[in-house]
Chains A and B, each alone.
Chain A
Amino acid sequence: MSDKPYVARSNMIAARVLGNETMVMSASDSTLFTLDEVATLIWESADGLTPLEEIVKNKVCTQYDVSPEVALKDAEVLVKQLAGHGLMLLSDRPVAQPSEFPKVNP
């Protein structure tokens, strides 16, 4: 994971924060995912410019009683799962995110 420290939300999704959770739907196959509170924190911080390690350190560890090592390991598992479903992009360099959802029909 250390070679791909940057994470970004895919633009091929629809997402909405509801309370402490986030619902994410894959736009390619309509699969629905629900992210819990911690996953939501990482999801919202995944701007493609901030390394995952920094997100964990500054967002997760400041709000939850967890060591940076354990939190990072959990976060790496999460982002790999999300990337596996096409919901998140992993990169070894900063990722430029499209500003809006691509328009494909009128």
Chain B
Amino acid sequence: MTGLSAAAQRSSVVVEIGGLPICLHCDNPVFIRLLMERYAGYIGDSKQTAFDFDIELAAPGTKFGDKDLTVTWNSGRWLMDRGDFHAEFNPTTAHGHITQTVNSYSLDSVLRIVHTLLLARKGGFLVHASSAIRHGRAFIFSGVSGAGKTTIARLAPPDAALLTDEISYVIPEDGGYFAVGTPFYGELARVGENLRAPIECVYLLAKGPENRIEPVVGTEGVRALLRNILFFARDPEFVKLAFEAAVDFAGRVPIRRLTFVPDARAWELIK
């Protein structure tokens, strides 16, 4: 059986990130196949899903309103709108609907938003950061665009498993925090490995003339973390949950500043 015929016989695919299986249904088998390729490594078992989304494909070029993203809570549903998609989901029924054109970029954005909203309730979050596992421990490298997230990921030694070069997934578990792999990538254009490990440290990235690690004291770490945590919803309770998740995390996981010369020697400091 070829990959194409296998995809044509199913109208759904389960994408499981961070242990949360989301089933995506669509009548278009070509699109399902596209998703299976896009989320390879994160395809789960369709019999065990936490959420179901029906995807309706619009004609190419369809616009969905404002270019800027809005995420709002209305009448028991989260509504998500951007120029390239409209989506909504009901957390109580665990069911949602997405309207978009044929592309994985829009769905990628919806999945990031959905995971952000659901993680906040668990005390977790998504953060603009690359992350990797080395010697059984996860390291998170956070920073704004251009700080070096992709660079440090690209420089990772062979014994490091890259979880993502763009969006790190942080979840509280067993009294600590774990980083888990995601298919969300940046410039590296490489899906992260579907692995998880306890977080050892967060490094706030800065490129500089020498490699050095400095402690981050006081509230600076929380402020830096909050600057990079994904905040999609302008919903008061969501903001409060995300804020508390970040503060709790910063109180338990060391945050340091890593200034690095963009070459592989930076990884000699990461232990």
- What residues make up the interface of B, taking CB atoms closer than 8 Å to A? 73, 76, 78, 91-92, 218-219, 222-223, 226, 231, 234-240, 243-244, 247, 251
Contact = CB atoms under 8 A, between A and B. Distances in A.
B219 A105 contact: no
Contacts of B251: 18
Query: What 3 A-B pairs come out closest when comparing CB atoms?
Result: A27-B236, A14-B243, A14-B240
Nearest to B250: A18
Given A18-B218, A23-B247, A105 B235 contact: yes
Nearest to B117: A105
Nearest to B73: A105
A18 B91 contact: no
A12 interface: yes
Given A14-B239, A16-B247, A23 B222 contact: yes
B237 A101 contact: yes
Given A30-B239, A105-B73, A105-B235, 7 more contacts: A18-B222, A28-B236, A32-B223, A101-B236, A102-B236, A105-B78, A105-B91
Nearest to B92: A106
Contact of A105 (B231, B237, B243): B237
Contacts of B235: 104-105
Nearest to B78: A105
For B73, B223, B236, B247, which residue has the most chain A Cβ atoms within 10 angstroms?
B236
Interface string A14-30: 10101101010111111
Contacts of A19: 218-219
Given A18-B218, A18-B222, A32-B223, A25 B237 contact: no
B234 A29 contact: yes
Interface residues of A, number: 21
Given A21-B219, A105-B73, A32 B226 contact: yes
B234 A28 contact: yes
B127 to A, nearest CB: 14
A104 B222 contact: no
Contacts of B236: 12, 27-28, 101-102, 104
B247 A18 contact: yes
A26 B234 CA distance: 10
Contacts of A27: 236-237, 239-240
Interface string A61-86: 00000000000000000000000000
Contacts of B222: 18, 23
Nearest to B90: A106
A1 B192 CA distance: 56
A34 interface: yes
Interface centre among B91, B223, B235, B243, by most chain A C-beta atoms within 10 angstroms, is B243
